[in-house]
Structure formats: C-alpha cells, structure tokens
Amino acid sequence: MSKLDFKELGLRVGLEIHVQLDTSRKLFCKCPTKLVEERSKFNIERGLRPAKSETGEVDPAAMLEWRRERVFIYEAPPESSCLVEIDEEPPHQLDEDSLTVAIAIAKALNMRVVDEIHVMRKIVVDGSNVSGFQRTALIALNGFIMEGEKKIGIQTLCLEEDAARKISEEGNKVFYRVDRLGIPLVEIATAPDINDPEEAMRVALKLGQLVRLTGYAKRGLGTIRQDLNVSIRDGAKVEIKGVQHLYLIPKVVELEALRQQRLLEIRNELLRRNVKPEDLKEEIVDVTEVFENTSSKIIRKSIATPGNGVFAVVLKKFKGLLGKEVQPGRRFGTELADYARVWGGVGGIFHTDELPNYGITAEEVRNLYEKLGANPGEDAIVIVADQREKCVKALKAVVDRARQAVIGVPEETRSANPDGTSKYTRPRPGAARMYPETDIPLVYVTPDLVEKAMKIVPEPPDAKLKRFVEEHKLSVELATTLIRDLRLDLYEKLTAKYGGSVQPSIIASILVNIIPSLRKENVPIENVTDELIEEIVDMLSRGEISKEAIPDLMKQALLNPEKKLKELVKELGITRLDVNELDRIIEEVVERHREKLLARKEKAFAIAMSETMKIVRGRIDGAIVAENVKKKLREKLNIGSDDEYSRQ
C-alpha cells in the first residue's frame, strides 16, 4: 500500500480514551471493583425494550438491538455484585473518590469543571448494561493538552460506569457477567485536532498516562480502551471501537482513511455512471430454482433445510465496484456483507463480481442475470441463501448500503479487527439517547472537593523530566524514554518505596530497556505484571540478586509463569554471592591457574577475571568482582599495580 498523504486527504481524528479507576468501591454501589473468573450460579434472564423519546423517535442503534429480539442472561457473582448491578435496587450516591480523581485529571487537562454534576442515563440496549442505560456524568469541558508545539483540544471528561462483560453468545441468548458493571471509568474525548496516525497514538498514550499518574488507574488487559473518530474531507465521522492496543492506533487510523478514500472513489465512479439512489430497488427475487442442481456446497447445504431458499437483488450499474478493495483483504462487497450479517443475521453473501467461483458456475451466473432481467455488462447481483425472512432483511440492508454509496461515506460505528481493518457494527447513535438519572442526587462541586482533587493532580511532564534528571540522576535520554513509558506510575511508586536501596536508573532500565529487549527475544512480555517487577526490585533491594541477573531472571519468570521467583533464582544459580563466597571462588581460580597467571603477567587480570566470571556471572556486580580479583592477584601473586590494570 502506498503511503497516504494525510494532509492532502484532510484527515481528522478525535480520540475517546476510557480508563478504569482502581477505587475501593464501584461508582454507584459499595461492591469491590474486582473481576471474578469462575462461572456464577446466580443467573438472571432479561429482555430490553428501547424507550421512545418525546418526539416519537427511537435511537437507531437502540432499535437495531431490539429487532434482534435477544435474551440477556446475567451472571451475578455475589463477591462483586449486588442488587444494584442487576437493576433490582436504585443506585447509591456517586462515589466521591472517583469524582475526586476525575476532577484532578480535568485540572491537569486545563479543563473547566462544571459547577453542578448531573448524572445522565445513556441508552444502551445491547444488554451490556442491565438497566438498559449507562450512567454517565459530564465532569468538565473545554480543555487542552500540548503535543509537542501543538495544542490538542479536550472536549469533555466524563465519569461513567463500566459495562458488564460479555461471556458468550448462543443463538439469540447473550451471556454477560456483571462483575465489571459499575467499575468507574474516566472517559476523555479530544477534539478532532489530530491530523496524523502517529500523532493519534502519542496523544492516546499521553492521556492514558495522565490518568495512571493519579495513582488511581487500574492496570492490565482491558483496563484502558480507546475509541477513534476518524474522517477525511468529504468523508464522514466514523467511530471505531475496541482498539485493544496503543500500537494499533496508527494502523487503524490509516486504514480508515484509506477506506473512506476508496469509498469516495466508488461514489465518483457511480456519479460518472449516472447512478441515482432511487435506481436501486428493493426488488428481492426468489432464485432458488437457478441453484437446484448447484455444485456450490454452501448453497446446497443451505437449501436442503426446509423453508430456506436463495434470494437475489440487482444493484444497477454496480458491476466491478463490489470487487474493489477498500481495505487490505476487504472489498466493497465485504462492506455489503457486513450489513447483511448485522441486519439479516445471515452468514454472508455472494456477488457477481466474485463469480463464477465457490462452486457457482458461469451458467448459473448467466441464468441469474436472465431471471432478474439484469444487464451482465453493467449490473451487479447479490445473492443470499438462508431462511426467506432473513434473506429479505439482509438484501434490504444491502440495497440500503448501496444507496448510501452513491451519496458517499455513511456515518457508522465500526469495530476494529486485530489486523487494523474494521467492520460495521451499527449506525451511529443519535442524540435522543440521553436523559437524567433521577435516582441520583446531583452533586454541587464544592471548594473542598476541588481542594481534595488538587492534591492528586498529576505533575506536568516537563517538571517530571527535570526531577528525574536532577533528583533521580537519570540521563536525559533515559528520563525522556521513561516519561513516554506506560509504566511511568509504577516507576514513581517503586522509586518512592525502594529509592534508598536501589538506584532509580536500575528501576528505569528494567522498564524501558530490559522489557523491550525481551520482546525482541520473543519472550511473552504481555505476562509482565506490576507484581513481578516489584518483586524483582524488592530482591535487588535485599541484595538477594544482582542487577546483572535481572534479564535472565525476568525471561525465565515470563516463560515459566507457574514457578515462584525464589525457586527460579535458585534454579538459575543466581543467588547473589556474598563477598566471602566471592573471595573463596577467586582464591580457587588464582590457585588453579597460578602457573599461567605468573607466566603471562600482563594478561593475568583478564584471565583471572574471565575465569571468575564464568562461575559468578549474574550473581554479583562485575565491578565488585574486578575489584576483588585485582586485590587477590596482588595479595597472592604480587601481580600488578593500578597503572598496569588501567591499560587492560
């Protein structure tokens, strides 16, 4: 793929960063904020209906979920949920600790904190919120952060409850566990001021870090989530959810820009062909007879089920466009298939741009065109094999999507795939889905509350850099890298705790040098936990291991997560030597090689050092070994002066 010129494209990106807070209780009840891994025996089964707005409008996203007529089954583990999570008790008052953290972050982002906080209900009927809405409150607005010389606007900061976790899906049943429901989340939304994919990642990192530096952010997989709003000039605002890793952000942005560009090319081609939205008719035809003796396994299997059939619709003058790639491995036809899956619940579609193929013959394609009275030179045909009702819904959605192609890029909510591409999930929710949470009293922001928050406002990065260099004696290079590291808050915690006995530079080096170097060795560094790092630093501080042993120890710990660190230290033989033991080893080395050392005096240190290190490597600091080797050579063999060694 050739590099896109994002400036030329008019790329605009806004971020929404969600970070879970590590508070002692949930946002609206007194349950602990921990997850439970066992399946629970307490199950509640519910349905949800979209609530209609005053104007009679129902949010399109909400309606889509309802049409699926899904049943939600909620597992409610008593260890981390109560009646509030399963919507059987009104919410308690907003957790003040969470609010304090939110205000502190808002202050660090130069935002205006509102004077009175109103908790709102945001309608979400995919079942992930048992109540059918997410409780959310706008805490602050109109802020900014600096990314280099550039000012990035921060539009809003909200405090909201996290949703339930989806466990599985079977048919129309969706299983959720409500342990996660209610964990406080800080949501920070930037203005669409970002114009470059890499910049998006840098801003996301900075915002995530800022929350973590309050000391109240949860760590680990799934505790930070980022949504992207991406558009290009003449394109549309598309929301991409579920970008799991920071490093995936640039790719997702780039591929969305590409997708919108390709969709605009398709639109231009349709305009050139003089296609109008109304040319695309919802005329869905039963074409089962064309495929009566088909050799396509998929179709044969499908129509063997009573009540199933093959249905087709013509997309007039679309020939060739369905095969056009919009993202790597995804064609415009794939976009149509997404709509068919979401709205019709079918497995997929076939379209004539990819036929004959998949066992469908050229003759069947000819018959298809003939039966539908379509022009094989101009028109495309989409077919689906499934139950009649599902096929009709699916093909109507296909026609709807094709009509939008004539207009341009539709506004959508999409979900990110692991390779950076994305797929359609639902229309963008409207503004009709927010109304006040009348069960919760509003919160007046008092000076006391602000004062409390000011105490945990994170230190600005520049001040931090200065402090690391001056007080922690880190090199400017190390400090700069550290400030960009996700575990910056862990560094602060560990230096505060162990700074007296372990050099801050060693702690910094574990985070920004050792862990990345292990990644290059394909060690599973996703297993690195804060606890592991702290345990290693703790052992260092007790002199149980030497800093030389860290890379090896960490590698083994990650490869053998079932083993205790202390066991590994023993197995690897890297228990730190005490000086007496070292002395004994050096003496043995010197005795063993006495002849050689005396014969080659000028190389004596190098030889003795290398022989000793073979035995003690990783168990004691090399500088200490060198010092003791020199001493021993002098004592036992009367070899060397400092001058002599310095030439080595």
Partner 1 sequence: MEIYHGYTGFVAFKLKEANAEPGDVIRVENPNGESFTGVLMPKQLLYSDKPVIVLKLSNGYNIGVKIDPNTRVLLVSKKRELPRTIGSQPLPKKPFVSILATGGTIASKVDYVTGAVTPLIDPHELLEWAPELGDVGFLNVREVMKKFSEDITPSDWEKLSLEVYREITSGAEGVVVAHGTDMMSYSAAALAFSIIGKPVPIVFVGSQRSSDRPSSDSFFNLYSAVLTAFKASFAESVIVMHGDSSDSYAVVLRGVKARKMHTSRRDAFQPVNDKPIAIVYPYSREIRIVGRVFEKRDPGREASLRNKFDDKVAIVKAYPGLQEEIINFLVDKKFSGIVIEGSGLGHVPNSLIDSLKRAVENEIPVVITSQCLFGRVNLNVYSTGRRLLEAGVIPASDMLPETAYVKLSWILGSVTKNLSEVRELMLTNIAGEINERHTLELFPRWSHE
Residues that bind partner 1 (CB under 8 A): 43-56, 62, 83, 86-90, 112, 114-118, 120-123, 125, 130-133, 136-138, 141-142, 156, 158, 431-436, 438, 441-442, 444
Best CA proximity match to 160, nearest among 127, 129, 185: 185
Cβ atoms 307, 335 nearer than 8 A:
no
Q: Which CB atom, from 128 or from 546, has the smaller least distance to partner 1?
A: 128
Nearer to partner 1, 143 or 461 (CB): 143
- Is residue 16 within 8 Å of residue 229, measured between CB atoms? yes
Task: Rank residues 89 and 96 by Cβ distance to partner 1 and give the closer one.
Answer: 89
To partner 1, the closest distance from the beta carbon of 73 in angstroms equals 9
Q: What is the nearest approach in angstroms of partner 1 to the Cβ of residue 88?
A: 4
- 228 vs 528 by CB, closer to partner 1: 228
CB of 228 to partner 1, least distance (A): 18
Comparing CB distances to partner 1, the nearer of 137 and 536 is 137
Q: How far apart are CA 46 and CA 48, in angstroms?
A: 7
CB atoms under 10 Å from CB of 474, counted, come to 24
Residue matched to tokens 């260099």: 469
C-alpha closest to that of 198 among 359, 3, 459, 356: 3
The 3-state secondary structure of 469-480 reads HHCCCCCHHHHH
A 10 A CB-CB count for 455 gives 8
> What is the chain's alpha carbon radius of gyration, rounded to the nearest angstrom?
32
> Which CB atom, from 46 or from 464, has the smaller least distance to partner 1?
46
Residue 538 CB, shortest distance to partner 1, in Å, is 40
Q: Which residues contact 63 (CB under 8 A, 6 or more apart)?
A: 50
CB of 30 to partner 1, least distance (A): 15
Residue closer to partner 1, measured from CB, 69 or 521:
69
> 261 with 241: CB under 8 angstroms?
no
Note the residue count of the chain: 648
Minimum separation from the CB atom of position 409 to partner 1 (A)? 22
**Cβ nearer to partner 1, comparing 19 with 62:** 62
CB of 153 to partner 1, least distance (A): 14
Minimum distance from residue 156 beta carbon to partner 1 (Å): 7
Specify the residue, 46 or 452, whose C-beta has the smaller distance to partner 1. 46
> Residue 354 and residue 357: Cα distance in Å, rounded?
7
CA–CA separation, 542 vs 536, rounded Å?
10
Alpha carbon distances (Å) from 627 to 602, 607, 621, 631: 17, 14, 10, 6
Structure tokens at 499: 């700074």
Q: How far is the CB of 69 from partner 1 (least distance, A)?
A: 11
Say how many CA atoms lie within 13 Å of 438 toward its Cβ. 1
User: What is the residue whose two structure tokens read 């600790």?
Assistant: 97
Residues 381 and 315 sit within 8 Å (Cβ to Cβ) = yes
320: left (phi over 0), alpha (psi -120 to 50) or beta: left
Beta carbon nearer to partner 1, 90 or 543:
90
Question: How far apart are the C-alpha atoms of 138 and 119, rounded to whole Å?
Answer: 8
The residue (of 117 and 565) whose beta carbon lies closer to partner 1 is 117
Kindly tell me which of 328 and 441 has the beta carbon lying closer to partner 1. Answer: 441
Q: Which C-beta is closer to partner 1: that of 142 or that of 357?
A: 142
- Please tell me what DSSP assigns to residue 578: P
Burial level of 126, CB count in 10 A (0-12/13-18/19+)? Answer: buried
In the bound complex, what is the minimum distance in angstroms from residue 29's beta carbon to partner 1?
Answer: 12
Burial 54-78 (b: 16+ CB within 10 A, else e): eeeebbebbebbbeeebebbbbbbe
Distance in Å, CB of 182 to partner 1, minimum: 15
Q: In whole angstroms, how far apart are CA 350 and each of 309, 323, 333, 592? A: 14, 11, 8, 80
Q: Shortest distance, CB of residue 114 to partner 1, whole angstroms? A: 4
**Residues 153 and 2: beta-carbon distance below 8 Å:** no
Instruction: Name the minimum Å distance from CB 14 to partner 1.
Output: 13
